[in-house]
């Protein structure tokens, strides 16, 4: 089950406010304000992997309600699914799987406060429930409580150092708060674990690493990581825009490549600044 956590991650080379500001590349200043998308989409995917049932129930009625809720979700009948999950918990007050799924639904629908309530109930039943800890980290981040969010990601890292999710989530938060070097350390660990497991989710970490190195004005390393993520994100305007800017680097760049990526970014909705277009001879 994938969780989406909203985090406004900006390129901090020259940044005055969240998701707004400018970046300097060589002698060019590229505006990231206005209608341009943030270099990191405000919606950054995080990954939750569930293996089996965490709190299998012996209550047949609760199990039936849970299975019914799953089917209703697949059919798009979300209100009915929520009610079915609640009935499952009414039948078995320790059914943490139903609590986790209900919290996930509520958070996706924007009811973060109620989602947190269900994650906390789940953890009261099963304190080592990594799914609930990760969901709680995401929910706290949506609320803007980065301290609590970081604490949950640190719990994930401490309790399972082979799980990339703690490193990925913590790295994203550190990147968003301008702690670029610390972010790179965590994101590199996440990327390594994803890659060793053969997971395509490595590309998400590679994307954030590309942004992190862009923040450090290491455009060659940034370009390398962004290129690794491109197979999955080739139609992402942010990736194309950043790759184009990286290729404008006078020391290691390629103006032809820069032009291709920036023109594609423009077609995807980015307003490429006039001074950048001027460098391209447009």
- Please determine, for residue 90, whether its predicted confidence score (pLDDT) is greater than 80: yes
For 184-197, what is each residue's pLDDT tens digit? Answer: 999 999 999 999 99
pLDDT at 52: 58
pLDDT at 37: 38
Across the chain, mean pLDDT equals: 83
Retrieve residue 104's tokens: 């996930």
| Mean pLDDT for the stretch of residues 248-272 | 92
pLDDT at 13: 29
Quickly count helices (H) and strands (E) in the chain. Answer: 13, 5
CA distance 157 to 165: 8
- Name residues whose C-beta falls within 8 Å of residue 205's C-beta, 6 or more positions apart in sequence: 164, 168, 171, 187, 188, 190, 191, 194
| Mean pLDDT for the stretch of residues 221-241 | 95
| Mean pLDDT for the stretch of residues 167-182 | 96
* Integer Rg of the chain from CA: 21
pLDDT at 164: 96
- Please determine, for residue 146, whether its predicted confidence score (pLDDT) is greater than 70: yes
Residues in the chain: 282
pLDDT at 132: 96
| Mean pLDDT for the stretch of residues 24-48 | 36
Residue 282's pLDDT band, with cuts at 50, 70 and 90, is low
For 99-140, what is each residue's pLDDT tens digit? Answer: 999 999 999 999 999 999 999 999 999 999 999 999 999 999
pLDDT at 137: 96
Retrieve residue 94's tokens: 């320790």
- Name residues whose C-beta falls within 8 Å of residue 221's C-beta, 6 or more positions apart in sequence: 213
| Mean pLDDT for the stretch of residues 150-159 | 97
pLDDT at 40: 42
Retrieve residue 186's tokens: 């965590």
DSSP string, 61-78: HHHHHHHHHHHHHHTT-H
Residue 235's region, left for phi above 0, alpha for psi from -120 to 50, else beta, is alpha
- Please determine, for residue 32, whether its predicted confidence score (pLDDT) is greater than 80: no
- Please determine, for residue 4, whether its predicted confidence score (pLDDT) is greater than 60: no
User: In this prediction, what percent of the chain has a pLDDT beyond 70?
Assistant: 81
Q: Hey, what long-range contacts does 81-90 have (CB within 8 A, 24 or more apart)?
A: 81/105, 82/106, 88/57, 88/62, 88/63, 89/62
- Please determine, for residue 42, whether its predicted confidence score (pLDDT) is greater than 90: no
The predicted model scores a pTM of: 0.80
User: In this prediction, what percent of the chain has a pLDDT beyond 90?
Assistant: 74
3-state secondary structure of 161: coil
| Mean pLDDT for the stretch of residues 135-157 | 95
| Mean pLDDT for the stretch of residues 145-162 | 96
pLDDT at 182: 98
How far is the CA of 146 from the CAs of 52, 103, 128, 225, in angstroms? Answer: 30, 19, 21, 26
179: exposed, middle or buried (C-beta count within 10 Å: 0-12, 13-18, 19+)? middle
How far is the CA of 203 from the CAs of 135, 139, 168, in angstroms? Answer: 21, 23, 11
| Mean pLDDT for the stretch of residues 35-63 | 60
Contact assessment for residue 255 and residue 248, using Cβ atoms and an 8 Å cutoff? yes
pLDDT at 25: 38
CA distance 14 to 22: 5
Q: Which residue has the higher pLDDT, 203 or 8?
A: 203
């Amino acid at each position: 089950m994938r969780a989406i956590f909203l985090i406004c991650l900006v390129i901090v080379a020259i940044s005055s406010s969240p998701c707004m500001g400018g970046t300097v590349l060589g002698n060019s200043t590229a505006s990231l304000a206005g209608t341009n998308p943030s270099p990191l989409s405000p919606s950054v995917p995080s990954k939750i992997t569930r293996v089996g049932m965490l709190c299998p129930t012996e209550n047949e009625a609760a199990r039936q309600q849970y299975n019914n809720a799953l089917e209703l979700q697949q059919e798009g009948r979300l209100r009915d699914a929520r009610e079915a999950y609640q009935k499952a918990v009414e039948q078995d007050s320790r059914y943490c799987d139903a609590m986790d799924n209900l919290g996930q639904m509520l958070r996706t629908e924007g009811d973060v406060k109620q989602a947190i309530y269900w994650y906390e109930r789940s953890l009261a039943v099963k304190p080592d429930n990594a799914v609930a800890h990760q969901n709680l980290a995401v929910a706290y981040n949506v609320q803007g409580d980065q301290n609590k969010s970081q604490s949950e990601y640190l719990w994930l890292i401490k309790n399972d150092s082979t799980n990339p999710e703690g490193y990925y989530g913590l790295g994203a938060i550190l990147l968003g708060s301008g702690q670029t070097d610390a972010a790179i350390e965590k994101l590199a660990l996440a990327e390594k674990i994803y890659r060793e497991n053969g997971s395509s989710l490595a590309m998400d970490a590679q994307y954030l690493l590309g942004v992190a190195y862009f923040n450090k004005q290491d455009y060659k390393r940034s370009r390398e990581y962004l290129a690794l993520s491109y197979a999955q994100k080739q139609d992402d305007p942010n990736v194309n825009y950043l790759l184009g800017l990286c290729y404008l680097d006078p020391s290691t760049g390629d103006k032809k490549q820069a032009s291709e990526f920036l023109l594609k970014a423009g077609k995807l909705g980015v307003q490429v600044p006039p001074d950048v277009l001027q460098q391209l001879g447009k």
